[in-house]
């Protein structure tokens, strides 16, 4: 099957520091990919390049057979960054409308997408509030809703559930699983939460800019003779998650 996201021999340095070193990854439709690894391993740098927010020094990234960065491709990608980029003086609904207006969508579809995304993150009753009065977790939830607003075929989520309570975290994961199964989305998440990593179809363990190991959670457990992913992480030399 043709890969949805193809990372080929990608390297990136900031000054003297090599942050990614010849990374190769192939991601297919209808799967959830987890990027795990210690803080500073290079996960955010990698996903930013997939979205086209940064460019590799060497190598190439293609999303849906298109070399990134590509402006038209942004219609197909939903990105949730680690820090929230929201208009705090606007209400949540105004934020959602603003981001929706950047994509090709009719009025009825816009309304329906806003209702869906707000419902998914449990913000329907809070939509009229200014984002300035939102808690950290509510802002994360709104950021996730914005990432989904244009029904993208590729979802790239950088630590999407940080600051979100366990019940909502579970319902978000249920929805991510539905999106990949029923709508064949390609979903890429970075996470430090090992029980979330276990829900991924494929994992890539990133450390010091390299992919140390990749495979299904079960393959990684077997490879490292580990009872759980926490142990895999530690045995792969990750230190604290
Ligand atoms: N714009 C930048 N300029 C200089 N250094 C940077 C820049 N962006 C990232 N780095 C460095 O690159 C390294 C990798 O950072 P990155 O954010 O990709 O790690 P990460 O794996 O996502 O970490 P975390 O799990 O803490 O989010 C870090 O040492 C970071 O300081």
Segment 89-130, tens digit of pLDDT: 999 999 999 999 999 889 999 999 999 999 999 999 999 999
User: Which residues, judged by CB distance below 6 Å to any ligand atom, belong to the binding site of ligand 1?
Assistant: 14, 19, 37, 39-45, 82
Instruction: Give the residue ranges of the chain where pLDDT is below 50.
Output: 239-241
Angle at 143 between CA 78 and CA 75, to 5 degrees: 20
What whole-number distance in Å separates Cα of residue 181 and Cα of residue 175? 10
The pTM assigned to this predicted structure is 0.93
Residue 237 has a pLDDT of 67
Specify the residue with its C-alpha closest to ligand 1, atom 31. 40
CA 20 – ligand 1 centroid, Å:
10
- Is the complex ipTM higher than 0.85? yes
Second CATH level (architecture) for the domain 5-235: 3-Layer(aba) Sandwich (3.40)
Please name which of 153, 156, 19, 141 lies closest in space to residue 92, comparing C-alpha atoms: 141
Dihedral of CA 155/161/165/167: which sign?
Answer: positive
């Amino acid at each position: 099957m043709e890969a949805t996201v193809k990372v080929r021999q990608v390297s990136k340095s900031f000054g003297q520091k090599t942050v990614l070193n010849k990374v190769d990854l192939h991601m297919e439709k209808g799967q959830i990919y987890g990027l795990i690894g210690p803080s500073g391993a290079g996960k955010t740098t990698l996903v930013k390049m997939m979205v086209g927010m940064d460019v590799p020094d060497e190598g190439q990234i293609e999303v849906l057979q298109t070399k990134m960065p590509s402006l038209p491709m942004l219609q197909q990608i939903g990105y949730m960054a680690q820090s929230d980029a929201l208009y705090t003086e606007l209400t949540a609904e105004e934020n959602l409308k603003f981001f929706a207006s950047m994509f090709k969508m009719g009025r009825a579809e816009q309304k329906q997408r806003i209702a869906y995304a707000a419902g998914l993150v449990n913000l329907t009753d809070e939509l009229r509030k200014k984002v300035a009065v939102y808690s950290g977790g509510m802002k994360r939830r709104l950021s996730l809703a914005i990432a989904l607003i244009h029904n993208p075929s590729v979802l790239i989520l950088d630590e999407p559930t940080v600051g979100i309570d366990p019940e909502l975290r579970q319902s978000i994961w249920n929805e991510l699983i539905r999106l990949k199964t029923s709508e064949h989305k390609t979903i890429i998440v970075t996470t430090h939460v090992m029980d979330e990593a276990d829900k991924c179809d494929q994992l890539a363990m990133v450390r010091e800019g390299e992919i140390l190991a990749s495979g299904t959670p079960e393959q990684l457990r077997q490879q490292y003779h580990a009872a759980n992913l926490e142990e895999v992480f530690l045995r792969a030399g990750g230190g604290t998650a």
